[in-house]
Chains A and B, each alone.
Chain A
């Protein structure tokens, strides 16, 4: 039986839960609890960081492309044990959250973000800003990303991108 359930995403309780998911996701990164980051995704969830240029041209390339939670764990273990970079932290500011629709148990939502980066020497800069386009599902009462695409407005990354946004 394949009844399609569609809602327009105006359910305030759902919206509050998704806003909370976004905030918890940002806090996990900003608090440097990166080992918990893959847990925000379904086991087969996808995470991509791309640029507005690629997105608008319909080009498939990502800066980071994790197909499944295992690749996300690999990103974090590489960051912890292999990659060399100057220590820094992020502060996410998330706004303009909208739940666009719910179809067959998948909530489509989007948000805007700004990531301020503070280097160990003290410089704070706007590292990135952009939009997320998300597909969110509920597993055992927990909302998780089936897909999260972060589209950076700029094609230019200052120095390097190691911590996920």
Chain B
């Protein structure tokens, strides 16, 4: 049994050095170590978390499917004949080929092209080619249990028109997972049936966690994203704050337009303020109040990899997909409401100039992660420090100059990783 103990020790994973009782530091090796990346697949993405899969409006009818990823695992989402949503690992139970190699479509059943094993829309194995052989010869082994060879299923929950999946039986219901306070923002933004206005994605030259942190880092917004400040989407002195779930894993950063929000940022030398820079055409900065409040900007994260976005009238979900230890893909699904009129759609298309890979206030997030990745590589035991707003994960009312939500991310990561 001493041997078993040794095995347990090995599976505890890489020995990372953290300061005791301090969430404000993390070793750079978390971004560069392939062993940690492999462990994340098991303990985070296949662990007790809700992973964003797609939107219900992308699979409206029975037989509709969409493919996606949970960590490195390829996933198929289908709508069954009963209208229920299914999520399965996109890997044939036979030789492991992708069952769906197209991004989306509509089918009566799922068929693997390699050896024509077929599955129903819920992933049950329904057909095996040449199961009885040919001319009485060959065929399936007599003891083969067809019922035990379906596609691997995920648990599925729908919230706010978004479809989530989890590999774990321990994941609590979604509402409990992020908490009522953060559910309220999803309820606030996705108030009507959604429609997809389009997609794009960007390949980030960095570990997925650098982008996950970036979204929770409201400290950088007014400093890095110069466009932000200059045109008044977000200024540090606007109303708003940070909400963080009790466990620290999820967050919401929001800003609310004040009556006096047009004044300057203050005496601080914020590089972002460039007086000479004026827009010739301000139509893309128009904000048609549609959600019943004055919130101009709400960035919400659902651990580990989802962002729900409202920036003015630009609504989107961003799904972060790890693609190896030093690469990730950020998939943007840009949304409107089903009942948008032509003017509203045009406004959304214009304001979307602000976000995405070419976004005037978001493109910088594509490169800063890569700069950390390049610099972190050389010295894995050195530490990043996150001291703004303390060392814990307290929410912040009135100020977004805090790294509390970033520390909350590391709290969640360390709890799940057991490190």
A residues neighboring B (CB under 8 Å): 49-51, 53-54, 57, 59-68, 70-71, 73-75, 77-78, 81-86, 155-162
Contact A84 B226 (CB under 8 A): yes
A160 touches B363 (CB 8 A): yes
| 8 Å CB contact of B200 from A63, A71, A83 | A63
Task: List chain B residues, Cβ under 8 A from A61.
Answer: 197-200, 334, 349, 352
* A141–B102 CA distance with the chains assembled, in angstroms: 48
Could you say which of B38-46, B251-259, B354-362 contacts chain A? Answer: B354-362
Indicate if B82 sits at the interface (CB-CB under 8 A).
no
Q: Is A59 a contact partner of B199 (Cβ separation < 8 A)?
A: yes
CB-based contact A84/B203 at 8 Å: no
A93 to chain B, nearest CB (A): 21
Expressed in whole angstroms, the Cα–Cα distance for A66 and B196 within the complex equals: 21
Residues of chain A with a CB closer than 8 A to B205's CB = 158-159
335-367 of chain B: CB within 8 A of chain A? 345, 349-350, 352-353, 356-358, 360, 363-364, 366-367
Q: What are 7 A-B interface contacts by the 8 Å CB criterion?
A: A60-B349, A74-B281, A82-B272, A84-B367, A157-B357, A160-B363, A160-B366
- Which residues of chain A have C-beta atoms less than 8 A from B134's C-beta? none
Contact (Cβ within 8 A) B197 A59 = yes
Q: Which residues of B contact A50 (CB under 8 A)?
A: 198
CB distance from A73 to the nearest CB of B (A): 5
Q: Chain A residues near B277 (CB, 8 Å)? A: 77-78, 81-82
Main secondary structure of the interface of A (DSSP, over half): mixed
Q: Which of A59, A63, A73 contacts B280 (CB 8 A)?
A: A73
- In the complex, A74→B279 CA distance in Å? 6
Assuming the A-B contacts A60-B198, A61-B334, A85-B367, are A159 and B350 also in contact, with contact meaning beta carbons closer than 8 angstroms in the complex? Answer: no
Q: Which residues of B contact A155 (CB under 8 A)?
A: 199-201
Shortest beta-carbon distance from B377 to chain A in Å: 15
B276 touches A81 (CB 8 A): yes
Give the most central of A51, A65, A160: most B CB within 10 Å: A160
Instruction: From B202, B204, B272, name the one whose CB has the most chain A CB atoms within 10 angstroms.
Output: B202
What 1/0 flags go to B129-141 for Cβ under 8 Å of A?
Answer: 0000000000000
B residues 21-77 near A (Cβ < 8 Å) are: none
In the complex, how many residue pairs between chain A and chain B have their CB atoms under 8 Å apart? 123
Within 8 A of A (CB), among B70-118: 103
* Contact A84 B364, beta carbon cutoff 8 Å: yes
Which chain A residue lies CB-closest to B281? A70
Collect the chain B residues with CB atoms within 8 Å of residue A66's CB: 353
**Interface residue from A59, A82, A158, A159 paired with B198 (Cβ < 8 Å):** A59
Closest to B196 in A: A59
Q: CA separation between A64 and B280, bound complex, in Å?
A: 16
Question: When the two chains form their complex, are residues B197 and A60 in contact, meaning their CB atoms are under 8 A apart?
Answer: yes
User: Do A65 and B197 touch across chains, with their CB atoms under 8 A apart?
Assistant: no
CA distance A85 to B367 in the complex (A): 7
Complex Cα–Cα for A161 and B279 (A): 20
* A63, B272: Cα distance in complex, Å: 24
CB-CB nearest in chain A for B353: A65
Contact with A67, one of B204, B276, B283, B368 (Cβ below 8 angstroms): B283
Q: CB-nearest residue of chain B relative to A61?
A: B198
Are the CB atoms of A68 and B281 closer together than 8 Å? yes
Q: Verify if B230 is at the interface (C-beta below 8 Å from A).
A: yes
CA distance A84 to B272 in the complex (A): 11
* Nearest-neighbor residue (CB-CB) of B278 within chain A: A77
A158 to B224, CA, bound (A): 20
B329 touches A156 (CB 8 A): yes
Does residue B158 face the partner (Cβ distance < 8 Å to A)? Answer: no
Which B residue's beta carbon lies closest to that of A121? B374
B164 an interface residue at 8 Å Cβ cutoff?
A: no
Chain B nearest CB from A38 CB (Å) reads: 10
Q: Give the contacting residue for B360; candidates A51, A53, A57, A78; CB below 8 A.
A: A78
B363 near A63 (CB under 8 angstroms)? no
**Which one of B230, B283, B358 contacts A82 once the chains associate, using CB atoms below 8 Å?**
B230
Chain A nearest CB: distance from B98 CB in Å? Answer: 18
